């Protein structure tokens, strides 16, 4: 009977053991399955967002108080990883998140000492703590740490966990991660760390307040020795390498390399605004997302622009300035100044101020006229004129600057070079007041336009950045562009999350855009200056190459905008509250800032790259600038003028026959080249 009883007991025990093991396996499998269903935990952590100029230099950083820069494991030298693993977790590659042997040893040591004298956290556990948990010492926190450790081990490889740990661990002084630590302590990237430098850094996380070489170089040096000994024990380095590294002198910087932007603060503000409006990021993501924001800023051009403004505008005046420069082909905003002193006023006059553009709107009017049959030689009278309207509008009498008129006929090319207001209003009314508004919208100006006769003289406000965009479209032959401040945004792992859009739309006809561009060079024409005072006369002597441009002014605004095919810029100067500009010197600020910027920005550039190249549909004809007819040998002044093929003048100038006989038009059969063809 006894044997049967023992057998029944054995069978019961076996069944219970099997049942228990089965339940345990089911529980463990269910737990594993649950972990897999939950998926990998997110590895995003607060990191500093960095802002880059077009040359790759850092121009700004989110100011969170903690410096964190993610760097891939491939970029970290092996001796850095070896140093960390040797001193922190030698069995990292063999355990599954927990080192049971170390845990048992630590428990025994702590019981013996009646206190915590030894820890047993693995790299995986520490990474879980860095990512998800607070540092409080409660059992609930320890259980959660174990849970997150398992999730990390199940869903990520060892290389990914090690990379994350190296990028999140604290090295003291606000430096989190190996890259931030290397930059702070040594002023270099972690990619460049020597064995001696790496072993010094590896000893700091044990207690940054104790082992930082900036706090105690003696304790830091002693800790470095332990790290090197550990590396030697694990076979990561040889005894000779350890000896050499321990003797290598180290020099500490103790300074974080990046900070709030000192250069281009208005540009920096605009970029942060566009990260919200265009990229769709929130404030936290922008400040702590570890983003890499690549901007269009040209550091050289920005410095030139800031200096041109500061040296041109008198310190004794309250006149403000707004400036922007752009690559017409891409829309990249390469320089931006929103005011004379950011600390005194962060209001961005280049992107936010809406001011009357004056005559700088006229190129858009004359482009419209070209599309509707006008040519550079189209004639209208320039004389005091009062316009009366049958629809109940009040009378309107535009005036030229200083009430100077041609008192006779004037060509459109001459009207643009001299900025004749009467010609502009006549053209505007002839075309219809909706027509100019349509062109203004085509070139990206979105501010409200009043459909009135004076719109031709720039009485409806625009933002400087809008006017710059419009001029860039003219400069590039009529292709759509938009102001681009942010070229590309990457997350902390290098994944591109935003790229500036590219456009292929043709919004203006290239042949008319070129004819207009060439007409806009007339304001700087040295041959015409003196014969008829062009509006760019005051800066002609500062020019070393050909520019297209247009100035503009109202009682309270002064503008200058212009371009080469590769660079466009705009300047506005005036008082913030619209006070009248009275001094002649103050009225010249915009032109002088503009020419100084353009000349310095293009210094050393290949002139051929900035030359205006005519498209196939245009033809160059020498014309008398007064009457717009084909110039002859007897004309005292002529200007080579471009026309859309088929619209060029056919009549020769006969106004100077008393000097010499006009050269007759050659017959179709005549093979001899015309005189201007021989020259040009």
Query: Rounded mean pLDDT of 404-433?
Result: 90
Confidence of residue 257 (pLDDT cuts 50, 70, 90): confident
**312: closest CA among 632, 69, 61, 591?**
591
Predicted local confidence at residue 99, as pLDDT? 64
Query: Rounded mean pLDDT of 624-650?
Result: 92
Other C-beta atoms lying within 10 Å of the C-beta of residue 253: 14
The H or E element containing residue 415 is: helix 412-418
Residue by residue, what is the 3-state secondary structure of 484-552? Answer: ECEEEEECCCCCEEEECCCCCCECCCHHHHHHHHHHHHHHHCCCCCCCCCCCCHHHHHHCCCCCEEEEE
Confidence of residue 454 (pLDDT cuts 50, 70, 90): very high
More confident residue, 545 or 129: 545
Tens-place pLDDT, residues 37-93: 566 666 667 788 899 999 998 888 886 567 888 889 999 999 999 999 999 889 888
Predicted local confidence at residue 555, as pLDDT? 93
Gap between the Cα atoms of 662 and 654, Å rounded: 7
Confidence of residue 101 (pLDDT cuts 50, 70, 90): low
Predicted local confidence at residue 389, as pLDDT? 76
Predicted local confidence at residue 531, as pLDDT? 62
Minimum mean pLDDT among 5-9, 107-111, 337-341, 470-474: which range? 107-111
Q: Which of 124, 199, 359, 569 is catalytic?
A: 359
- The answer to whether residue 494 scores a pLDDT higher than 60 is yes
Gap between the Cα atoms of 588 and 48, Å rounded: 44
Pairing between β-strand 486-490 and β-strand 320-326 as defined by DSSP bridges: unpaired
Predicted local confidence at residue 391, as pLDDT? 65
* Whole-model pTM over 0.75: yes
Residue 88 is among the residues annotated as catalytic for this protein: yes
Tens-place pLDDT, residues 642-676: 999 999 999 999 887 765 544 444 434 433 444 44
Predicted local confidence at residue 487, as pLDDT? 98
Strand partners, 462: 355
Minimum mean pLDDT among 41-55, 217-231, 456-470: which range? 41-55
Q: Quick one: how far is CA 648 from the chain centroid?
A: 43
Confidence of residue 459 (pLDDT cuts 50, 70, 90): very high
Predicted local confidence at residue 671, as pLDDT? 39
Minimum mean pLDDT among 35-39, 97-101, 413-417: which range? 35-39
**462: closest CA among 400, 327, 566, 552?**
552
Helix segments in 278-342, DSSP class H: 283-288, 299-312
Gap between the Cα atoms of 322 and 360, Å rounded: 15
Predicted local confidence at residue 137, as pLDDT? 53
More confident residue, 451 or 14: 451
- The answer to whether residue 589 scores a pLDDT higher than 80 is yes
Residue 189 is among the residues annotated as catalytic for this protein: no
Predicted local confidence at residue 151, as pLDDT? 76
- The answer to whether residue 174 scores a pLDDT higher than 60 is yes
Predicted local confidence at residue 204, as pLDDT? 95
Q: 197 and 186 in contact (C-beta within 8 Å)?
A: yes
- Evaluate the CA torsion angle 234, 235, 240, 241 in order and state its sign: negative
Put residue 523 in one of left, alpha, beta given phi > 0 → left and psi -120 to 50 → alpha. alpha
Tokens of residue 63, six digits = 């100011």
- The answer to whether residue 34 scores a pLDDT higher than 80 is no
- The answer to whether residue 541 scores a pLDDT higher than 90 is yes
Put residue 162 in one of left, alpha, beta given phi > 0 → left and psi -120 to 50 → alpha. alpha
Three-class SS state of 61: strand
**454: closest CA among 520, 577, 366, 361?**
361
Instruction: Tell me what the pLDDT averaged over the chain comes to.
Output: 86
Query: Rounded mean pLDDT of 528-535?
Result: 73
Q: Which of 61, 88, 153, 306 is catalytic?
A: 88
For tokens 């008129």, the residue is: 405
């Amino acid at each position: 009977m006894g044997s049967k009883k023992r057998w029944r007991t054995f069978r019961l025990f076996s069944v219970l053991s099997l049942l228990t093991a089965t339940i345990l396996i089911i529980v463990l499998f269910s737990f594993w399955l649950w972990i897999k269903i939950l998926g990998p935990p997110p590895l995003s952590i607060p990191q500093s967002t960095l802002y880059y100029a077009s040359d790759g230099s850092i121009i700004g950083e989110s100011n969170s108080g903690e410096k964190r820069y993610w760097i891939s494991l491939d970029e970290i030298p092996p001796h850095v990883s070896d140093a960390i693993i040797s001193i922190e977790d030698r069995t990292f590659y063999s355990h599954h998140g927990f080192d049971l042997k170390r845990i048992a040893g630590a428990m025994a040591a702590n019981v013996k000492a009646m206190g915590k004298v030894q820890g047993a956290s693995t790299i995986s556990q520490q990474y879980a703590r860095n990512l998800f948990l607070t540092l409080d010492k409660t059992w609930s926190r320890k259980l959660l740490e174990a849970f997150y450790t398992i999730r990390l081990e199940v869903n990520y490889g060892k290389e990914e966990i090690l990379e994350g740990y190296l990028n999140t661990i604290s090295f003291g002084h606000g430096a989190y991660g190996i890259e931030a630590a290397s930059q702070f302590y040594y002023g270099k990237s972690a990619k460049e760390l020597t064995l001696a430098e790496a072993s010094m850094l590896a000893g700091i996380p044990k207690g940054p307040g104790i082992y930082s070489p900036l706090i105690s170089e003696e304790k830091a040096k002693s800790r470095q020795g332990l790290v090197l000994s550990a590396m030697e024990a694990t076979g990561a380095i040889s005894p000779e390498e350890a000896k050499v590294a321990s003797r290598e002198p180290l020099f500490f910087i103790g300074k974080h390399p990046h900070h709030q932007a000192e250069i281009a603060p208005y540009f920096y503000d605009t970029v942060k605004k566009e990260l919200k409006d265009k990229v769709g990021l929130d404030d936290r993501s922008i400040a702590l997302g570890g983003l890499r924001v690549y901007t269009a800023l040209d550091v050289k051009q920005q410095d030139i622009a800031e200096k041109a403004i500061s040296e041109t505008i008198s310190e004794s005046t309250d006149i403000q300035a707004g400036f922007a420069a752009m690559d017409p082909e891409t829309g990249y905003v390469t320089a931006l100044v929103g005011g004379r002193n950011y600390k005194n006023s962060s209001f961005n006059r280049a992107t936010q101020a809406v001011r009357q553009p004056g005559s700088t709107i006229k190129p858009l009017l004359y482009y419209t006229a070209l599309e509707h049959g006008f040519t550079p030689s189209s004639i209208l009278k320039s004389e005091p004129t009062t316009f009366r309207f049958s629809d109940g509008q009040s009378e309107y009498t535009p005036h030229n600057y200083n009430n100077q008129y041609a008192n006779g006929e004037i060509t459109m090319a001459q009207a643009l070079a001299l900025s004749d207001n009467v010609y502009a209003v006549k053209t505007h009314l002839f075309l219809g007041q909706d027509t100019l508004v349509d062109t203004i919208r085509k070139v990206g100006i979105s501010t409200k336009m009043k459909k009135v006769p004076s719109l031709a003289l720039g009485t409806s406000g625009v933002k400087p950045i809008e006017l710059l965009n419009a001029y860039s479209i003219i400069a590039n032959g009529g292709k759509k562009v938009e102001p681009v401040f942010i070229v590309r945004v990457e997350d902390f792992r290098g994944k591109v999350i935003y790229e500036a859009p590219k456009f292929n739309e043709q919004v203006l006809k290239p042949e008319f855009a070129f004819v207009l561009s060439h007409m806009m060079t007339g304001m700087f024409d040295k041959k015409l200056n003196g014969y008829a005072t062009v509006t760019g006369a005051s800066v002609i002597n500062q020019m070393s190459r050909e520019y297209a441009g247009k100035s503009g002014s109202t009682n309270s605004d002064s503008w200058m905008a212009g371009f080469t095919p590769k660079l466009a810029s705009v300047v506005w100067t005036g008082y913030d509250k619209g006070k009248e500009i009275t001094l002649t010197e103050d009225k010249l600020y915009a032109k002088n800032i503009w020419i100084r910027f353009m000349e310095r920005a293009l210094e050393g550039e290949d002139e051929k790259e900035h030359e205006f190249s005519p498209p196939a549909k245009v033809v160059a004809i020498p014309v008398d600038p007064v009457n717009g007819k084909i110039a002859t040998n007897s004309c005292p002044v002529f200007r080579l003028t471009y026309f859309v093929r088929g619209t060029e003048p056919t009549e020769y100038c006969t106004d100077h026959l008393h000097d010499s006989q006009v050269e007759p038009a050659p017959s179709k059969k005549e093979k001899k080249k015309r005189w201007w063809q021989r020259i040009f």
